[in-house]
Amino acid sequence: MKLDYGEIGKRIAHRRKQLGLKQAAVEEKADIGTKYLSSIERGISIPSTEVIMRLAIALDTTPDEFLVGTARYDDEGEQWRGVAEFLRGLTPGQLALAEELIRVAARQKLEK
- Helices 76-88 and 49-58 pack at an angle, to 10 degrees, of 130
Q: What CA–CA distance (Å, rounded) separates 73 from 60?
A: 9
Higher local confidence (pLDDT), 68 or 58? 58
Per residue in 18-45, pLDDT (tens digit) is 999 999 999 999 999 989 999 999 999 9
Q: Could you tell me the CATH superfamily of domain 5-107? A: lambda repressor-like DNA-binding domains (1.10.260.40)
Element (H, E) at 13: helix 5-18
Residue type (1 letter), 112: K
DSSP characters over 78-89: HHHHHHHHHHHT
Contact between 66 and 52 (Cβ < 8 Å): yes
pTM of the entire predicted model: 0.65
CA torsion angle for 59, 17, 11, 109 (degrees, to 10)? 40
User: Residue 79: which pLDDT band, with cuts at 50, 70 and 90?
Assistant: low
Contact between 32 and 45 (Cβ < 8 Å): no
The CB-side HSE value for 9 (13 A sphere, CA atoms) comes to 15
Q: How far apart are the first and last CA of the chain?
A: 25
